[in-house]
């Protein structure tokens, strides 16, 4: 297993899971952080998925970042492309969460304008906690009714979901600390709405070339200053944490 070291602010070698959890915990919130991986030349995917870019250290951190989340937020495009199953953290994470007053499992929150989702999918059918699906007013009612059988459906926005309204709705449900796993369209809409507090970015040590998209897709320019909070290193890979400045 590739060790993860902290380079900055205070150098520290070979961080164990407990220490990584401590260093990456979200504040009480409401708080929303995004997690992404990118190649050095800005590609967010390899062969249409993000998994090929990461190594064991990135996968380790990806898993740990779910531990302290009330909710894990995902765009429907990512759930479809990456084949999301039910959201379930492992036994050691459950014990860690209960010891800190968190519910045993985080809630999966999906964002979809089309509701082109299968209610029989494992994401819903095997979910330990009833998921929340956030959609828009214009979605056909038949689709909405089908998903409402397996998830709580929240309707906000116009042609797209309103990120700030969604955050308020989640906070009202006690889901204050939201860990978002993308993807690029979701990230762009949340950035545009000023609804992102932090970004974990893994910089994979490779140049991809090709035509893969970036970690944001669409939206209008929304320059957002970010402050560097920490730099971890796993071999040649950098694991960066930024908060909105």
Ligand X SMILES: NC(=O)c1ccc[n+]([C@@H]2O[C@H](COP(=O)([O-])OP(=O)(O)OC[C@H]3O[C@@H](n4cnc5c(N)ncnc54)[C@H](OP(=O)(O)O)[C@@H]3O)[C@@H](O)[C@H]2O)c1
CB-wise, 52 or 103, nearer to ligand X?
A: 52
Give least dist CB 229 to ligand X, A. Answer: 19
Tell me which residues in 60-79 interact with ligand X (CB under 6 A): 75-78
**In sequence order, which residues have a C-beta less than 8 Å from that of residue 66 and are 6 or more positions away?**
72, 87, 89, 93, 106, 179
The site string for ligand X over 147-186 (x = CB under 6 A, - otherwise) reads -------------xx-------------------xxxxxx
The site string for ligand X over 74-113 (x = CB under 6 A, - otherwise) reads -xxxx--xx----------------------------xxx
Pairing of strands 226-234, 237-244: antiparallel
Tell me: does residue 189 bind ligand X (CB under 6 A).
Answer: yes
- Find the part of the chain contacting ligand X (CB under 6 A) among 41-49, 85-93, 100-108, 226-234: 41-49
Percent of the chain as helix, strand, coil, to the nearest 5: 25, 25, 50
Tell me: does residue 208 bind ligand X (CB under 6 A).
Answer: no
The DSSP code sequence of 76-119 is HHHHHHTT-------HHHHHHHHHTT--SSPEEEEE-SS----T
Spatial separation of the C-alpha atoms in residues 23 and 6, rounded to whole Å: 10
Give least dist CB 197 to ligand X, A. Answer: 17
Q: Please, how many CA atoms are within 13 Å of residue 45, restricted to the half-sphere of its CB?
A: 14
Supply 9's token pair.
């602010």
Tell me: does residue 223 bind ligand X (CB under 6 A).
Answer: no
Give least dist CB 114 to ligand X, A. Answer: 4
Spatial separation of the C-alpha atoms in residues 133 and 30, rounded to whole Å: 19
Backbone angles phi, psi at 66, to 5 degrees: -80, -20
Tell me: does residue 215 bind ligand X (CB under 6 A).
Answer: yes
- Name the residues that contact ligand X, by CB under 6 A: 36-37, 44-45, 48-50, 75-78, 81-82, 111-114, 116, 160-161, 181-186, 189, 215, 217
């Amino acid at each position: 297993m590739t060790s993860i070291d902290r380079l900055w602010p205070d150098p520290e070698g070979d961080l164990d899971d407990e220490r990584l959890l401590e260093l990456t915990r979200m504040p009480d919130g409401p708080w929303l952080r995004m997690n992404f991986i990118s190649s050095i030349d800005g590609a967010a995917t390899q062969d249409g998925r993000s998994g090929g870019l990461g190594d064991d250290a990135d996968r380790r951190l990806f898993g740990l970042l779910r531990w302290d989340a009330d909710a894990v937020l995902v765009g429907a495009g990512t759930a479809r492309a990456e084949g999301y199953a039910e959201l379930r953290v492992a036994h050691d994470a459950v014990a860690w969460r209960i010891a800190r007053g968190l519910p045993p499992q985080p809630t999966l929150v999906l964002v979809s304008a089309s509701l082109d989702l299968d209610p029989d999918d494992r994401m819903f059918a095997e979910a330990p906690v009833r998921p929340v699906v956030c959609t828009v007013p214009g979605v056909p009612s038949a689709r909405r009714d089908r998903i409402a059988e397996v998830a709580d459906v929240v309707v906000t926005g116009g042609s797209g979901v309103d990120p700030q309204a969604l955050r308020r709705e989640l906070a009202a449900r006690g889901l204050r600390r939201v860990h978002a796993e993308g993807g690029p369209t979701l990230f762009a809409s949340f950035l545009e709405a000023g609804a992102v507090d932090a970004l974990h970015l893994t910089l994979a040590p490779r140049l991809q070339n090709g035509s893969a998209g970036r970690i944001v897709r669409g939206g209008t320019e929304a320059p957002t200053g970010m402050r560097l909070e920490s730099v971890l290193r796993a071999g040649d890979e950098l694991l960066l944490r930024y908060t909105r400045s």
